[in-house]
Amino acid sequence: MPQPDHLICLDIPDAENLGEDMDAYLAKCEEKLGMVPNVLRAYAKHPAKLRNFVQTYNTLMLAPSGLSKLEREMVAVVVSSANRCYYCLVAHGQAVRALSGDPQLAEMLVMNHKVAELPPRERAIVDFAWTLTTAPMSVGEAERNALRTQGLTDADIFDLADVAAFFNYTNRVAHATEMMPNPEYHAMNR
């Protein structure tokens, strides 16, 4: 049962010119990761969308924040688990393996975050991300206070909400287009 090697299930011609900044960015991906993540190749059909995606992604996932990079990747996996997004589970599952050095932790977050024995701060963070994804209308002061109790500032909560919400965006773009992840992720950091 050989699996699909398409990027997305939409037939859209490649953009002729991505702009220097994006050409440089994709080259840097190739150099540092050994591949260009398929989400970037997909958004490269439309240079302005690619630029917006890269800038938003980098602000949310890589810029300084009260949330560690691992915590942000854990949120990405838990949201994608709720939405059953194959692309993001493969790509961000690998990121959790890489950042945590703990492949079992990544598997737990992919399959059922509740079985992971997390420190209270991380438990509060992933529970918030799960609730915001599956029952957004139910989030209120009680849910924010559960985070404050674990030491998150209001700016941290904004970052957490922003990251969790963002993967509800990317998960749906991946579902709608049947975007497939690069096969290289599977073997990394096992």
Residues 49-78 binding a copy of itself (CB under 8 A) are: 49, 51-52, 55-56, 59, 63
Q: Considering the complex, what minimum distance in angstroms separates the CB of residue 7 from a copy of itself?
A: 12
Q: Which of 75, 85, 91, 124 binds a copy of itself (CB under 8 A)?
A: 85
DSSP secondary structure of 80-123: HHHHT-HHHHHHHHHHHHHHHS-HHHHHHHHH-GGGS---HHHH
Smallest separation, CB 110 to a copy of itself (Å): 7
Q: Which two tokens stand for residue 75?
A: 């949120």
Q: Which of 162, 167, 163 is nearest to 80 (CA)?
A: 167
Q: 154-177 and 120-134 are packed helices; what angle lies between their axes, rounded to 10 degrees?
A: 50
Interacting span for a copy of itself (CB under 8 A) from 24-32, 33-41, 95-103 = 95-103
Q: φ, ψ for residue 63 (rounded to 5)?
A: -70, 160
Q: How far is the CB of 149 from a copy of itself (least distance, A)?
A: 15
Q: Least Å distance between CB 30 and a copy of itself?
A: 22
Asked if 155 touches a copy of itself (CB under 8 A), the answer is: yes
Q: Which is nearer to a copy of itself, 12 or 33 (CB)?
A: 12
Site residues (CB under 8 A) for a copy of itself, limited to 100-139: 100, 102-105, 107-108, 110-112, 114-119, 122, 132-133, 136-139
Q: Is residue 9 a contact residue for a copy of itself (CB under 8 A)?
A: yes
CA distances from 140 to 11, 26, 49, 127 (A): 42, 40, 32, 13
Identify whether the C-beta of residue 177 lies closer than 8 Å to the C-beta of residue 9.
Answer: yes
Please tell me whether residue 150 binds a copy of itself under the rule CB under 8 A.
no
